[in-house]
Amino acid sequence: MRHSERYCFIGAGSMAEAIISGMIANGRTEPAMIDVVIRSDRERLLYLQDQYHIHCPESQEDAIHKAGTVILAVKPKDLLEALQQWGRFIHPHQRVVSVIAGISTSFIEQHLTAGVTVIRTMPNTSSLIGRSATALCGGLHAEKEDLQATQEDFNAIGSTVLVDEKDMDTVTGLSGSGPAYIYYLVEALEQAGVNEGLSRSVARQLTLQTLLGAAHMLLETGKDPTELRQRVTSPGGTTMVGIETLSNHHFQDALMSAVHFARKRSEELGSAFSPSATK
Ligand SMILES: NC(=O)C1=CN([C@@H]2O[C@H](COP(=O)(O)OP(=O)(O)OC[C@H]3O[C@@H](n4cnc5c(N)ncnc54)[C@H](O)[C@@H]3O)[C@@H](O)[C@H]2O)C=CC1
Ligand SMILES: O=C(O)[C@@H]1CCC=N1
């Protein structure tokens, strides 16, 4: 039985902020129900308290102990230290939700009191505005109700999908890193418009609305992207030339390689933290 609906974030960087902001804005929880545990960066804590009016705990240990859900949001390289520092305050009635790339549920379980529920998630930074695409899976002790509760938390900041843990590295390379690929694409399209003589503001407006319109077309019509692309592409017209040029530059191969190597990097990040590593 959980004793609290409180949330405590271990790590207060961009991902923690994106989730905190999204959960408050979407009414999933109240600022007073959120604590943040820091390593040493007091300014960061003060910023989050000022910006989101989150709770100001008397002691960090207490904040962890009182939470129903503890969210691990440190970088992979800092996880072991964080578990050694804070893990002893986590008890078996709590739900531990990791957003950390590459790290398995079994590694985290191994460094906590036996029986603690661990859920591994991969959200993205669009959580900040309630538009994350989050995949999640449960560890050894995760019950259906734990997965449901975590899905509800993350549904408040976007959409969620349950996956097998073996797919989490792929998810990380696709939708965890994905916003960066899209921003990279936007940078290029906007610059292309400028190179061809448009002002930056006109180029940005046209690029963004094109992106938004295409995303909505996909979501609202439910049609296949290939069919929608073909509809834009008039025989002998401009799009045909544009797509041929992208194809000549192996555009789709480049994206597939990006996801492939990002997945491999996620695996590498995790391999230093296999369940048998250091306890
Ligand atoms: N940034 C992104 O787009 C996404 C990041 N992630 C994952 O989220 C995690 C955090 O990433 P970011 O927020 O981008 O990193 P970040 O570097 O912005 O934040 C990490 C925070 O953890 C704190 N920290 C480190 N050791 C600590 C300790 N022992 N106790 C308390 N706090 C400690 C740091 O001071 C820092 O504030 C990473 O594991 C990453 O893989 C997941 C999805 C997307
Ligand atoms: O770049 C990273 O490692 C993190 C994980 C997914 C997005 N950002």
Residue 186, pLDDT > 50, answer yes
Residues with CB under 6 A from ligand 1: 10-16, 37-39, 41, 44, 73-76, 78, 81-82, 85, 99-101, 122-125, 176
Q: What is the mean pLDDT of residues 90-107?
A: 96
Set out the domains of the chain in order of their start, with CATH numbers: 7-165 (3.40.50.720), 178-265 (1.10.3730.10)
CA of 101 to the centre of ligand 1 (A): 10
Proximal ligand: closest to the CA of 8: 1
| C-beta of 177 in contact with ligand 2 (< 6 A) | yes
Q: What is the mean pLDDT of residues 122-148?
A: 96
CA of 223 to the centre of ligand 2 (A): 30
The answer to whether the annotation marks 24 as part of a ligand binding site is no
* Chain segment 13-72, per-residue pLDDT in tens: 999 999 999 999 999 999 999 999 999 888 999 999 999 999 888 899 999 999 999 999
Q: What is the ipTM of this complex?
A: 0.98
| Phi–psi pair at 98, nearest 5 degrees | -100, 140
Instruction: Tell me the pTM.
Output: 0.94
pLDDT at 44: 94
CA of 37 to the centre of ligand 1 (A): 12
**Is the Cβ–Cβ distance between 126 and 108 less than 8 Å?**
no
The answer to whether the annotation marks 57 as part of a ligand binding site is no
The answer to whether the annotation marks 75 as part of a ligand binding site is yes
Work out which ligand 2 atom sits closest to the CA atom of 125: 7
DSSP class of 196 = T
Q: What is the CA radius of gyration of the chain?
A: 21
Buried b (16+ CB within 10 A) or exposed e, 127-136: bbebebbbbb
Q: What is the mean pLDDT of residues 94-105?
A: 97
CA of 221 to the centre of ligand 2 (A): 31
The answer to whether the annotation marks 87 as part of a ligand binding site is no
pLDDT at 58: 85
* Chain segment 198-230, per-residue pLDDT in tens: 999 999 999 999 999 999 999 999 999 999 999
Q: Return the H-helix or E-strand segment holding 119.
A: strand 117-122
pLDDT at 40: 87
Work out which ligand 2 atom sits closest to the CA atom of 15: 8
Cα gap 189→156, rounded to integer Å: 31
| Phi–psi pair at 117, nearest 5 degrees | -80, 125
**Termini Cα distance of the chain:** 28
Token pair 């308290």 is at which residue? 49
Cα gap 265→102, rounded to integer Å: 8
Closest Cα to atom 44 of ligand 1: 124
pLDDT at 279: 45
CA of 122 to the centre of ligand 1 (A): 13
